[in-house]
């Protein structure tokens, strides 16, 4: 059964027990991923969110309105099968992280970057034991190999579902530090997104906002917030 059938054919989607995980069934029939693997997720909270997406379908199935399902599919069909490669790709952001590339001028931008980004680098140093060095400009700068190794280990230790969330958090923000900070359950997600958009916000203040750029930023913001929500559902009671 393909989960991307054109029209709704079921009356109700329900959460089911599936070994150590939780599945989703449509009128008793298990949902499968596009690659025909069982759609089984680690927690009941995530399974409930996915089932809610299926129950919310009106007539036509629109994957764009089913982000939890899409993320779970990606974790099962893609990330689980190339975990090390995906983890390496994400960890590589730590060597060119947005937060340690600073402007040389003007002074107001330099100050704003310091005020918003230094606390995140301090958090990485204390919570992740990874002290990153701030540099001026956009040219690559060598970081402490031990710090990079700590970040890499943290990324590789995540399972396929958590790694799926982190991939989007990092790719959308341009920062491994911001992505890892977003995995902290007590962290307010909005300031993290704002920190990742600091340079764009500065340009908008100087030259005015571009309507198309604002629209694109809104789409990315929604995806960033979704990735955090997806991860948080992995932390709830199984």
Share of the chain above pLDDT 90, in %: 78
Indicate the domain borders of the chain: 13-77, 82-235
* Percentage of the chain modeled with pLDDT above 70: 95
> pLDDT of 178-218, one tens digit each?
999 999 999 999 999 999 999 999 988 888 878 888 899 99
Whether pLDDT at 115 is above 90: yes
50-82 pLDDT, tens digit per residue, is: 999 999 998 888 888 999 999 999 999 999 999
116-144: pLDDT as tens digits: 999 999 999 999 999 999 988 767 678 99
Q: What is the DSSP string of the chain?
A: --TT-SB---S-EEEEEETTEEEEEETTEEPB-TTS-B-EES-HHHHHHHHHHHHH--SB--GGG-HHHHHHHHHHHTGGGSHHHHHHHHHGGGGS-GGGEE----HHHHHHHHHHHHHHHHHHHHHSS--PPPEESSS-----HHHHHHHHHHHHTS-HHHHHHHHHHHHHHT-HHHHHHTTSTTS-HHHHHHHHTHHHHHHHHHH---HHHHHHHHHHHHHHHHHHHHHHHHHS--
The CATH class that applies to domain 13-77 reads alpha beta
CATH classification of 82-235, choosing from 3.40.50.10540, 1.10.3580.10, 1.10.3110.10, 3.20.20.70? 1.10.3580.10
């Amino acid at each position: 059964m393909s989960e991307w059938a054109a029209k709704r054919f079921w009356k109700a989607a329900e959460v089911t027990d599936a070994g150590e995980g939780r599945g989703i069934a449509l009128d008793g029939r298990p949902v499968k991923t596009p690659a025909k693997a069982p759609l089984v997720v680690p927690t009941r909270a995530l399974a409930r969110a996915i089932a809610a997406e299926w129950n919310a379908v009106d007539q036509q199935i629109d994957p764009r309105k089913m982000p939890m399902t899409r993320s779970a599919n990606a974790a099962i069909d893609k990330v689980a099968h190339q975990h090390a490669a995906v983890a390496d790709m994400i960890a590589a952001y730590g060597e060119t992280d947005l937060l340690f590339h600073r402007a040389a001028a003007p002074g107001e931008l330099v100050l704003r970057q310091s005020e918003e980004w230094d606390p995140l680098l301090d958090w990485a140093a204390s919570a992740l034991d990874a002290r990153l060095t701030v540099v001026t400009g956009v040219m690559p700068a060598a970081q402490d190999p031990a710090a990079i190794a700590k970040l890499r280990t943290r990324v590789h230790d995540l399972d396929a579902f958590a790694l799926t969330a982190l991939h989007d958090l990092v790719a959308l923000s341009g920062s491994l530090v911001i992505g890892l900070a977003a995995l902290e359950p007590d962290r307010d997600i909005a300031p993290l997104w704002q920190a990742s958009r600091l340079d764009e916000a500065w340009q908008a203040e100087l030259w005015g906002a571009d309507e198309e750029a604002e629209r694109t930023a809104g789409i990315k913001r929604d995806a960033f917030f979704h990735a955090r929500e997806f991860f948080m559902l992995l932390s709830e009671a199984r």
